[in-house]
Amino acid sequence: MKKVTMSCALMCALLGMMSCGGNKNAAGRADETAAERTVEQAVLADIAGEWIIKAVNGKDMPDAMERTPFLAFDVEEMRVYGFASCNLVNGAIQQEEGQPASLRMPQMVSTMMAGPHLELEQEVLKATEQVTSFALNEQKDVLTLCDAEGKELLRLQKNTGEKLGH
C-alpha cells in the first residue's frame, strides 16, 4: 500500500511539473515552481519541426481522421504552418524578449475548404490565437501550448516519421 501511495504522489508531482503555469500568491505574482524552472530551460529551438495535434482545450482529437492535424515550427524563419483538420494554416511566431518560453501565433491564416471537422478546426485556430507560452516534457516529445493563465490550449506530440502531407 505504501508503494502505491508513493507512486501516486510521484505521478502527481510529475504532472504538475509538466504544466505551463505556476501558482499565484496572494499578491497575484507567480511563485517559482519546479514547473516554471523547467519551462524556462526550454527554448524556441526545442520546438522546431512537426508536431501532431493530440488535444485542443483538454479534448482529445478524434482517432478517425483522413489527415493528421499538425503544426510545424520553422524557428529560423519564425513561421508556423500545418493542417488544422480541414484546412492548411500558416502564420508567424513571435517571442517576448528575455522570455524563452513565451510564444505567440498572431494572425494565423487558413485555406477555406469545408470539411467534416470544421468546428474542431475553429477550436484549434481560436486556441492558437490565445497561446502565450509553451512547455515541453522532460523527453521533449510532448509540447503544451498555454494561455496567459497557464491553461493548456493545445497538446502536441513530436512527429517521429509520420508523413503529414504538406
Q: What is the pLDDT of residue 166?
A: 52
Reported for 158-162, long-range contacts at CB under 8 A and 24+ positions apart, including other chains, are 158/49, 158/50, 158/51, 158/52, 159/49, 159/50, 159/51, 159/52, 159/70, 162/52, 162/68
- What tens digit of pLDDT does each residue of 53-69 get? 999 999 999 988 889 99
pLDDT confidence of 140, banded at 50, 70, 90? very high
- What tens digit of pLDDT does each residue of 81-113 get? 999 999 999 999 999 998 999 999 998 999 999
This prediction has a pTM of 0.75
In terms of residues, how long is the chain? 166
Q: What is the pLDDT of residue 9?
A: 35
- What tens digit of pLDDT does each residue of 20-47 get? 654 333 344 344 443 443 444 579 999 9
pLDDT confidence of 17, banded at 50, 70, 90? very low
Q: What is the pLDDT of residue 154?
A: 98
